[in-house]
Amino acid sequence: MSEAIIAKKAELVDVVAEKMKAAASIVVVDARGLTV
């Protein structure tokens, strides 16, 4: 993987982590077991 791709992914992880810290509650949904 190129350095640019790794840097972009790391930046994305940081953004998501910040949003999780700022959120009052985090809802994680596992939809694998659902059938529609």
The confidence score (pLDDT) of residue 26 equals 66
Amino acid identity of 25?
Answer: S
* The token pair that represents 25 in the structure block: 């509650």
The confidence score (pLDDT) of residue 12 equals 93
Mean pLDDT for back-to-back runs of 10 residues, the chain (36 residues):
90 88 73 72
Q: Is the dihedral of CA 9, 24, 26, 21 positive or negative?
A: positive
Q: Say what the pTM is.
A: 0.48
The confidence score (pLDDT) of residue 23 equals 76
CB neighbour list of residue 26: distance below 8 Å, 6 or more residues apart: 20
What is d(CA 16, CA 14) in angstroms, rounded to the nearest whole number? Answer: 6
